[in-house]
Structure 1
């Protein structure tokens, strides 16, 4: 099935790129940008990205590396004052 009409990328192209990247480096983080580069293409309009991402996620070899599983995002600071003193004014 054709995923990206602008660059003529099929679902088979995406799957083979993901398999190739996983085989060459099992710990790599696979992103759409890396897949485009592996295929020698660039994004054009971005309209295909939702379908592109779904196709990536459906690949058998697409997974988060073991070392990165279970990590949590850092929580933002509770305050929005950015550590400034009260009464701070920009001249």
Structure 2
């Protein structure tokens, strides 16, 4: 099935690119931009991105590397000041 009509990218090519990137570097974080670059293409109109992402999510090898899991949770915990000291915040 063609996922990106502008660049004629199929779902098979997306899955192959994700599998290739995961095999080349098991710790990499795979993004749509990296998949486009791996295929030697660039996104054009962006209309395909929802289907592109759904296709990527369907890949068994897409998973987030273990050492990167939980980073969002860890970043939101804390004092809520993005690590800045009290004196370096903008006055309210």
Unpaired stretches in structure 1, ≥5 consecutive residues: 87-91
> What secondary structure is seen at the aligned counterpart in 1 of 2:21?
helix
1:47 aligns to what?
A: 47
Q: CA deviation at 1:83?
A: 2.1
| Alpha-carbon distance in 2 for matches of 1:85, 1:15 | 49
Q: Deviations over 1:16-45 (max 9, x none)?
A: 000000000000000000000000000000
| Alpha-carbon distance in 2 for matches of 1:16, 1:44 | 21
Which structure has greater helix proportion? 2
RMSD, matched Cα: 1.9
| Alpha-carbon distance in 2 for matches of 1:68, 1:39 | 25
> What secondary structure is seen at the aligned counterpart in 2 of 1:3?
strand
Do the aligned partners of residues 68 and 83 (structure 1) sit closer, same or farther apart at CA in structure 2, a change above 3 Å counting? same
Unpaired stretches in structure 2, ≥5 consecutive residues: 82-87
Moved over 6 A (4+): none
Aligned length, in residue pairs: 83
| Alpha-carbon distance in 2 for matches of 1:59, 1:85 | 47
1:83 aligns to what?
A: 89
